[in-house]
Structure 1
């Protein structure tokens, strides 16, 4: 079930670094070198497979941008699954950076 606007603002407000952008949750992660960013993307892939829910990933040298949204009957938006996954990505970032 898609989160309401109020739920969405509350949940994203609790997530360090994440913001709402065009109906999706977006976070830009910065790394000290390219290979640390790639190691992070590998962790993101593992987490995504476990959730069976995959973000859009953009890699630009030492920057990795993740975009999360869910397609449902009600349209495209953000669900509790997106929020839980974003928490996991933040934890992986802390371990990888």
Structure 2
């Protein structure tokens, strides 16, 4: 089930660092060292496999950007929000 605009705005207020661009959630994570960013990407991969949903990942030296959306539903769902929270938890552990 897709969130309405109002529901999504409420969820984003509770989701540190994430923003919405159309039907996609985006967050850029910055690390002190390149290898910490790579370790984070490994965590993102494990979380993504568990969810069965995979974000677009861009690695640019110490920056990792994630783009998250449910393609088959053409929007953002509760599962996307839960996954974004798990990515944030992985970031807190990795940095």
TM-score, length basis structure 1:
0.94
Question: Aligned equivalents of 2:65 and 2:34: distance in 1?
Answer: 13
| Contiguous gaps of at least 5 residues in structure 1 | none
Number of matched pairs: 95
Question: Aligned equivalents of 2:10 and 2:55: distance in 1?
Answer: 21
| Contiguous gaps of at least 5 residues in structure 2 | none
| Cα displacement string for residues 38-77 of structure 1 (whole angstroms, at most 9, x for unaligned residues) | 00000000000001011110000000000111123xx511
Match of 1:15 in 2: 15
Once superposed, what is the RMSD of the aligned Cα atoms? 0.8
TM-score, length basis structure 2:
0.96
What SS is found at the alignment partner of 1:7? Answer: helix
